[in-house]
Structure 1
Amino acid sequence: MSIHGWARSALEADLQGAEALGYDRLLALRALLAEIVEQSRGLRDPEELAHELQFLADNLDDERDYAFMRP
């Protein structure tokens, strides 16, 4: 299993646990994201982390064509 597969499985298990406790899935995702950023901030340069988060935010649209992609 790849690290991404592990992360996907771990996240799904955590979300199911949160829902079992009565938490909304979106609220749980937001809380997890905030905690991941907080934990990452202690291990990485804040500017590097900000660039990675901005890249992820800029690439949320699956339908968008990007200049670096070739037809």
Structure 2
Amino acid sequence: MSASEIANTHFSAAMAAAQAAGVDQDSVCRSLVNLVVSKYLETRSATDVQSELHFVADNCDPDTDFAFMRP
């Protein structure tokens, strides 16, 4: 099982649990992001984590190619 498959399995379960409990899924997503950032900070600098988050934010539009992709 790949890292993406593991993450997707747990993310799907968290979304299903939120829906079943009547909890806002955006709140659960925010909590998951906070957990990921906390985990990153155990082994990475704050600047490195910020860079990672900026990259994700800058490239989150599914209709836009990554800046480093060639046509």
> What is the correspondence of 1:1-71 to structure 2 with a 5 Å cutoff?
1-71=1-71
Structure-2 separation of matches of 1:27 and 1:13: 15
Backbone CA RMSD of aligned residues: 1.5
**For residues 65 and 16 of structure 2, what CA distance do their matches in structure 1 show?**
34
TM-score, scaled to structure 1: 0.83
- Aligned identity (percent) is 35
Instruction: Map Cα deviations across residues 29-71 of structure 1 (whole Å, 9 max, x no partner).
Output: 1111112212221221111111111100000112224442122
- Structure 1 residue runs of 5 or longer lacking an equivalent are none
Query: Scaled by the length of structure 2, what TM-score is found?
Result: 0.83
Q: Which amino acid aligns with 2:59?
A: N
